[in-house]
């Protein structure tokens, strides 16, 4: 079931009503069943896959409690099983295709690859979540979960099941175990998140997505057109993924759960490293805690530290999809972070201090430059055909068609207008964060702004939603 | 105490503002009823014109005159400026399209509201059009015209779905005004809209001022207001069942009277091609009947067959359905918007489940009803176009900012460039996996589209009622007098369509590439200038189907 479907708009109120009528011990059972129904609605077979991953990691947790001395073996076995399933469903086709090409290029006898595997929805998300639990139990960071229903609900909780955020057991598990309550603030905030999420998806992502689609459908787009298309795609992918997180967080809040934030206005980042602290935060933190730090993190120096960063980002790219363009995208971001690190070290050594009056300008410049670098990465993400991607990078503004510039400027402004609420939200957020923390409740004077804002967003959805709605981009990962 | 006092003041302000709002909304109809209608003379029909500023010295500075109501009205060349009035007695509640063209700068107002504006067009007679929903009874038209050279002409008429024939404002539908102080009453009417906004803003402010102080301590209260503000519009139950009068019985009676051997279903392509009386003559006085729904495509043709032809009980020997390009497999095309909504309601007695499913993707389930309900509540179809157009215009303006003719022309050029850049010939080769995924629109492959089109439903209906269908593809406008040639994709599409129809027992005739259809025969767009020139060609080419 997709969030942007009428079925979900019926499903959520039904679940909400039944859930709050039930006593606490039945609430989890009901949520577990509804979460499996949610996934089974897409394809009944998907439910069996998540069940097997949940069962394996649950048993691993129990085994770690019973035979702590065999902990390493248990963790290795459950990692092989869980990542094996992920690898088979997500990467087997990619691996075989590349092996075939490699054998052919070496002049060796090749084979006929006929592997066509349906990628189970959300597999990358719930596998990472389940694996993180087993590792945390092995590290004794979290207690062992003995109740299978609670554990299965932690893995399959429907709002974050398909596209995250990837929750950590120390955050979500206590919420699953303990009694939950419904407060007016939760309803208020949850509804706002839902409406804002739907607005971002149906108005911003789908409209800018249509512009990007049109540009990348052109047989021979010029330099300016390509970059106008990239700008539209940059907004589309942010609004698309962020909207999913918001709808997930809003739905979870209505059920008494608080999911972690996945985005923090990433296009207001002042450096590539800052971008990754704001973009898909749950994946960034997962990779930091389970890949980067175990590899040595920043404790090691020189080439090894750089290698760790590159490896982490290459894995991040590969996590997004079984295609070379994603690997390239991951590598590009790894490189950006490394360059950023080195340049920062040099600047620190120079002990250059920026005058206070110049700081806002410097920060704005940094934001714009970082956004530009991120956009270059989005082109790699968007164009899966490597040949076409290289051709696009070779386009020069000096040889571009003058007419293209006018059209590109128009497309740029069209995307900017559709995405204006996101930028305004970002500016408001920056202003808010000067005096408050993100967990501060909204002041009373602003409490009534919510219904008005919701009304406006609701009208915006009705009147501005795209004529060509599309599925969430991150569903494929 | 002071807080309660403030609340009371807010409530008084709210009540007064709501009263003001109500009066302003009702103002035009009150003025019409009590000031205008008593002064109309139904015996004489015409325009009450007030001229001013003569171009040559005349013994009078301005004078008033009656002009007989007619389709086109010429004005005295001695005057630069003219204001004309007429009362139009609208025959029935309906959606009307007002069509207007003029030689000079003009403005048409209806009940004080600006309806149309025309820029000077000395060379071309460009027609300005506007849809408006009108209630039965008298309505006040005012037309202001200014021509710096003096004189000029204007032409005004109205069209009403479904037949959309142009009617002049004349005969017993109009009346001359004899009211005094017309200008003053008209200004009152003009005032109603800004005044309604003014009172509306006061009402909203009073409501906010009343609500805001209470939120400081009560978060439950804020939550309830949140829910109510979202749900109230949905609870104010709009009448989605209100329907236009169904014209089926009239058409059924006409069909029974005529008992045609051949029936034609189509849009303006049919209307501009087939002259019924000439075809009847060519066929040797065999009766034929055309069901023309202007603008309609396959969905409307399906409804016409199902609700206009079949219930009449007439079983013609053949039913010809006219179509263009790939429209037979485009079920959603031309099925939304105020005109088509009215048209659909007039040709169907109740919502058709097949049509709703195929054209609007909605089912006659609670969810479908909810969706339709939202559409009606917020006038979604109409307002969506308005809002999206505004965003588009803003983007063009930002790309080429500034006012003035030169900037406007540059914006128009950019518009043309954008359309050219994304024309079909530029799209396709670059369509990659992502593009296909993010697009909901498929390619024009017949086999992919046919299942979700109206074609199977049309054929099924014909089979059930023992009707023989023949699909006639009209030739599009030839480019520069060269013969029309299909693209390879279109050829494949037509081949697939032909074999599909053959399997289903229906006929197909394609006029594309017909040497007897040169550019000289064409009028506007793909329309034929004179159906009397085309009808013999049609008779000649489809003789096999007409025997």
B523 pLDDT exceeds 90? no
Angstroms from B428 CA to nearest CA on chain A: 6
- Model confidence at B211, pLDDT cuts 50, 70, 90, reads low
**How far is residue A332 CA from its own chain's centroid?**
18
DSSP secondary structure string, A41-91? HH-HHHHHHHHHHHHHHHHHHHHHHH-GGGHHHHHHHHHHHHHHHHHHHHH
pLDDT score recorded for residue B124: 47
Residues of A in contact with B229 (CB under 8 A): 451-452, 454-455
DSSP secondary structure string, B430-446? T--HHHHHH-------H
If we measure between CA atoms, which residue out of B88, B84, B137 comes closest to residue B106?
A: B84
Residues of B in contact with A447 (CB under 8 A): 215, 219, 222
Q: Do residue A470 and residue B223 have CB atoms under 8 angstroms apart?
A: no
Angstroms from A201 CA to nearest CA on chain B: 13
DSSP secondary structure string, B173-216? GEEEE--SSHHHHHHHHHHHHHHHHHHHHHHHHHHHHHHGGGGT
Nearest residue in chain A measured CA to CA from B210: A448
Domains B39-185 and B248-357+442-546 share a fold: no
Angstroms from A406 CA to nearest CA on chain B: 7
Q: Do residue A462 and residue B378 have CB atoms under 8 angstroms apart?
A: yes
Give the pLDDT confidence of A350-406 residue by residue, as tens digits. Answer: 777 778 788 888 888 889 999 999 999 998 888 877 778 888 888 877 777 777 888
Same-domain pairing of A59 and A204: no
Same-domain pairing of A201 and A307: yes
Partner residue opposite B222 with nearest CB, options A188, A212, A418: A188
Q: What is the 3-state secondary structure (H, E, C) of B401-428?
A: CCCCHHHHHHHHHHHHHHHHHCCHHHEC
List the catalytic residues of A.
320
List beta partners, residue B87.
B140, B175
The answer to whether residue A1 is domain-embedded is no
pLDDT score recorded for residue A162: 75
* Beta carbons of B117 and B106 less than 8 angstroms apart: yes
Per-residue pLDDT of chain A (477 residues; tens, 9 = 90+): 667 666 777 788 888 888 888 888 888 888 888 888 887 776 777 788 888 888 889 888 888 888 888 888 888 888 888 888 888 887 777 777 777 777 777 777 766 655 556 667 778 888 888 888 988 888 888 888 888 888 888 888 888 877 778 888 888 888 888 888 887 777 878 888 888 898 998 899 988 988 888 888 777 788 888 899 999 999 999 998 899 899 999 999 888 888 888 888 899 888 898 998 888 888 888 888 888 888 887 777 777 888 888 888 988 888 887 778 888 889 999 999 999 888 888 888 877 777 878 888 888 888 999 999 999 999 888 887 777 888 888 887 777 777 788 888 999 999 999 999 999 888 887 777 767 665 566 665 666 667 777 778 888 887 888 776 666 666 555
Q: Is some CB atom of chain B closer than 8 A to the CB atom of A400? A: no
Same-domain pairing of A99 and A214: no
What angle is formed at CA A96 by the lines to CA A95 and CA A98, rounded to 5 degrees?
Answer: 65
Same-domain pairing of A198 and A262: yes
CA atoms of B527 and B522, how far apart (whole Å): 6
Q: Which of residues A58 and B221 earns the better pLDDT score?
A: A58
pLDDT score recorded for residue B318: 92
CA atoms of B101 and A136, how far apart (whole Å): 78
Percentages helix, strand, coil for chain A (3-state, rounded to 5) are: 75, 0, 25
Residues of A in contact with B208 (CB under 8 A): 448
The answer to whether residue A295 is domain-embedded is yes
Residue A148 belongs to domain spanning: 6-180
pLDDT score recorded for residue B365: 58
In terms of Cβ atoms closer than 10 Å to its own Cβ (0-12, 13-18, 19+), residue B135 is exposed
Same-domain pairing of A132 and A154: yes
Same-domain pairing of A376 and A234: yes
Q: What count of other Cβ atoms lies within 10 Å of the Cβ of residue B150?
A: 18
Angstroms from A439 CA to nearest CA on chain B: 17
Substitution target in B337, B371, B395 with the highest count of A β-carbons within 10 Å is B395
Q: Do residue A385 and residue B432 have CB atoms under 8 angstroms apart?
A: yes
The answer for residues whose C-beta is within 8 angstroms of residue A80's C-beta and 6 or more apart is: none
Choice among A156-165, B163-172, B187-196, B508-517 with the minimum mean pLDDT: B163-172
Task: Tell me the three state secondary structure of residue B476.
Answer: coil
Substitution target in B226, B361, B368, B428 with the highest count of A β-carbons within 10 Å is B226
List beta partners, residue B509.
B472
Same-domain pairing of A381 and A406: yes
Same-domain pairing of A213 and A109: no
What is the ipTM for the molecules in this complex? 0.80
Give the pLDDT confidence of A277-322 residue by residue, as tens digits. Answer: 888 888 888 888 888 888 887 777 777 888 888 888 988 888 887 7
Whole-number Cα distances in Å, B304 to B152, B162, B263, B543: 43, 11, 11, 25
Angstroms from B262 CA to nearest CA on chain A: 39
Q: Do residue A407 and residue B414 have CB atoms under 8 angstroms apart?
A: yes
List beta partners, residue B86.
B141
Q: Do residue A403 and residue B421 have CB atoms under 8 angstroms apart?
A: yes
Nearest residue in chain A measured CA to CA from B226: A451
The residues spanned by each domain of chain B are 2-33+186-233, 39-185, 248-357+442-546
DSSP secondary structure string, B267-303? SHHHHTT--HHHHHHHTTS--EEEEE-TT--HHHHHH
The answer to whether residue A409 is domain-embedded is yes
Residues of A in contact with B387 (CB under 8 A): 463-464
End-to-end CA distance of chain B: 92
Q: Do residue B421 and residue A404 have CB atoms under 8 angstroms apart?
A: yes
Task: Tell me the three state secondary structure of residue B32.
Answer: helix
Residues of B in contact with A183 (CB under 8 A): 219
CA atoms of A472 and A237, how far apart (whole Å): 9
End-to-end CA distance of chain A: 16
Q: Phi/psi of residue B104, each to 5°?
A: -125, 175
CATH architecture, range B248-357+442-546: 3-Layer(aba) Sandwich (3.40)
Same-domain pairing of A217 and A127: no
Q: Which of A180, A208, A232 is the last residue of a domain?
A: A180
Q: At what angle do helices A6-21 and B366-377 cross, to 10 degrees?
A: 110
Give me the number of domains chain A comprises: 2
Residues of B in contact with A384 (CB under 8 A): 432-434
The CATH code of domain B39-185 reads 2.60.120.260
Q: Which of A154, A180, A206 is the last residue of a domain?
A: A180
Same-domain pairing of A198 and A171: no
* Beta carbons of B339 and B131 less than 8 angstroms apart: yes
- Model confidence at B535, pLDDT cuts 50, 70, 90, reads very high
* Beta carbons of B130 and B70 less than 8 angstroms apart: no
Q: Do residue B439 and residue A470 have CB atoms under 8 angstroms apart?
A: yes
Percent of chain B with pLDDT over 70: 73
Q: Do residue B418 and residue A407 have CB atoms under 8 angstroms apart?
A: yes
pLDDT score recorded for residue B442: 38
Q: Which of A180, A206, A240 is the last residue of a domain?
A: A180
Outline where B309-352 has alpha helix (H). 338-347
CA atoms of B28 and B26, how far apart (whole Å): 6
- Model confidence at B319, pLDDT cuts 50, 70, 90, reads very high
Same-domain pairing of A220 and A292: yes
The answer to whether residue A78 is domain-embedded is yes
- Model confidence at B212, pLDDT cuts 50, 70, 90, reads low
What angle is formed at CA B401 by the lines to CA B397 and CA B403, rounded to 5 degrees?
Answer: 95
Residues of B in contact with A195 (CB under 8 A): 230
Q: Do residue B230 and residue A458 have CB atoms under 8 angstroms apart?
A: yes
Give the neighbor-by-neighbor strand order of the sheet with B288-292.
B288-292, B262-266, B318-323, B469-473, B507-510
Same-domain pairing of A24 and A159: yes
């Amino acid at each position: 079931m997709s969030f942007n479907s009428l079925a979900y708009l019926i499903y959520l109120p039904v679940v909400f009503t039944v859930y709050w009528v039930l006593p606490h011990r039945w609430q989890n059972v009901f949520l577990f069943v509804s979460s499996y129904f949610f996934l089974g609605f897409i394809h009944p077979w998907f439910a069996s896959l998540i069940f097997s991953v949940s069962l394996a990691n649950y048993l691993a947790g129990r085994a770690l409690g019973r035979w702590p001395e065999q902990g390493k073996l248990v963790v290795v076995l459950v990692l092989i099983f869980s990542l094996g399933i992920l690898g088979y469903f997500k990467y087997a086709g990619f691996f075989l295709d590349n092996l075939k090409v490699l054998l052919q290029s070496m002049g060796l006898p090749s084979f006929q690859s006929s592997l066509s595997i349906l990628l189970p929805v959300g597999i990358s998300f719930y596998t990472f979540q389940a694996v993180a639990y087993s590792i945390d139990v092995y590290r004794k960071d979290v207690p062992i979960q003995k109740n299978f229903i609670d554990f299965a609900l932690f893995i399959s909780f429907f709002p974050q099941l398909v596209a995250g955020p990837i929750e950590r057991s120390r955050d979500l598990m206590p919420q699953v175990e303990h009694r939950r309550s419904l407060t007016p603030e939760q309803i208020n905030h949850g509804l706002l998140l839902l409406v804002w999420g739907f607005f971002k998806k149906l108005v911003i992502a789908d409209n800018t997505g249509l512009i990007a689609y049109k540009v990348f459908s052109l047989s021979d787009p010029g330099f300016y057109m390509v970059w106008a298309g990239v700008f539209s795609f940059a907004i589309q992918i942010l609004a698309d993924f962020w909207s999913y997180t918001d709808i997930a967080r809003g739905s979870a809040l209505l059920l008494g759960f608080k999911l972690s934030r996945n985005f923090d206005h990433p296009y207001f980042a002042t450096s590539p490293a800052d971008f990754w602290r704001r973009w898909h935060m749950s994946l960034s933190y997962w990779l930091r805690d389970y890949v980067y730090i175990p590899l040595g993190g920043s404790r090691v120096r020189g080439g090894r530290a750089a290698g760790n960063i590159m490896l982490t980002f290459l894995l991040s790219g590969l996590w997004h999809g079984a295609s070379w363009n994603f690997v390239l995208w991951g590598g590009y971001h790894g490189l950006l972070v490394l360059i950023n690190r080195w340049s920062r070290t040099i600047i620190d050594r120079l002990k250059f201090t920026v005058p206070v009056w110049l700081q806002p300008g410097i920060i704005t410049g940094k934001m714009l430059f970082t956004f530009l670098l991120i956009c270059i990465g989005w082109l790699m993400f968007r164009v899966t055909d490597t040949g076409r991607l290289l051709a696009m990078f070779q386009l020069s503004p000096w040889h571009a068609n003058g007419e293209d510039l006018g059209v590109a400027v128009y497309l740029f402004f069209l995307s900017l207008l559709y995405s204006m609420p996101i930028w305004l939200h970002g500016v408001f957020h920056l202003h808010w964060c000067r005096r408050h923390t993100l967990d501060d409740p909204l002041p009373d004077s602003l409490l009534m702004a919510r219904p008005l804002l919701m009304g406006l967003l609701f009208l915006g959805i009705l009147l501005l939603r795209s004529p060509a709605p599309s599925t969430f981009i991150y569903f494929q990962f | 105490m002071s807080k309660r006092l403030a609340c009371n003041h807010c409530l008084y302000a709210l009540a007064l503002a709501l009263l003001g709002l109500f009066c302003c909304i009702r103002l035009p109809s009150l003025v019409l009823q009590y000031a205008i209608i008593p002064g109309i003379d139904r015996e004489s029909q015409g325009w009450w014109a007030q001229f001013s500023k003569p171009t040559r010295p005349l013994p009078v500075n301005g004078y008033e005159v009656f002009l007989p109501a007619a389709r086109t009205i010429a004005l005295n060349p001695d005057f630069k400026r003219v204001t004309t009035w007429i009362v139009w007695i609208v025959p029935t509640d309906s959606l009307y399209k007002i069509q207007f063209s003029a030689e000079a700068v003009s403005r048409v107002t209806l009940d004080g509201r600006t309806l149309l504006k025309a820029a000077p067009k000395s060379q071309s007679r460009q027609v300005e059009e506007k849809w408006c929903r009108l209630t039965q009874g008298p309505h006040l038209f005012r037309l202001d015209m200014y021509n710096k050279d003096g004189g000029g002409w204007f032409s005004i008429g109205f069209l009403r779905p479904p037949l959309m024939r142009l009617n002049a404002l004349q005969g017993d539908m109009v009346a001359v005004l004899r009211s005094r102080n017309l200008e003053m009453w008209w200004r009152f009417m003009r005032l109603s809209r800004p005044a309604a906004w003014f009172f509306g803003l006061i009402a909203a402010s009073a409501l906010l001022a009343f609500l805001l102080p209470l939120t400081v301590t009560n978060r439950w209260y804020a939550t309830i207001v949140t829910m109510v503000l979202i749900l109230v519009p949905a609870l104010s139950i709009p009448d989605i069942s209100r329907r236009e009068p169904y014209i089926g019985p009239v058409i059924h009676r006409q069909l029974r009277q005529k008992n045609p051997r051949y029936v034609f279903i189509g849009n303006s392509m049919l209307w501009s091609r087939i002259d019924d009386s000439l075809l009847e003559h060519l066929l040797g006085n065999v009766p034929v009947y055309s069901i023309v729904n202007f603008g309609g495509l396959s969905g409307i043709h399906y409804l016409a067959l199902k609700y206009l032809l079949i219930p009449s009980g007439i079983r013609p020997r053949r039913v010809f359905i006219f179509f263009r390009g790939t429209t037979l497999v485009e079920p959603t095309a031309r099925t939304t918007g105020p005109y088509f909504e009215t048209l659909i309601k007039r040709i169907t007695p109740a919502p058709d489940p097949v049509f709703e499913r195929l054209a609007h993707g909605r089912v006659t389930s609670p969810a479908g009803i909810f969706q339709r309900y939202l559409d009606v509540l917020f006038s979604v179809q109409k307002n969506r176009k308005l809002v999206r157009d505004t965003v588009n215009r803003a983007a063009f303006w930002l790309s080429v900012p500034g006012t003035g003719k030169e900037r406007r022309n540059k914006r128009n050029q950019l518009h043309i460039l954008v359309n050219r850049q994304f024309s079909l010939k530029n799209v396709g080769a670059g369509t990659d996996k992502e593009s296909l995924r993010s697009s909901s629109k498929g390619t024009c492959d017949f086999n992919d589209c046919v299942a979700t089109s109206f074609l199977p439903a049309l054929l099924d209906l014909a089979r059930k009622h023992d009707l023989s269908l023949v699909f006639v593809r009209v030739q599009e406008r030839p480019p520069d007098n060269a013969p029309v040639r299909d693209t390879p994709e279109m050829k494949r599409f037509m081949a697939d369509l032909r074999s599909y129809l053959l399997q289903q027992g229906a006929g197909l005739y394609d006029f594309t590439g017909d040497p007897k259809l040169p550019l000289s025969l064409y009028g506007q767009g793909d329309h034929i200038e004179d159906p009397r020139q085309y009808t013999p060609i049609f008779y000649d080419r489809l003789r096999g189907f007409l025997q």
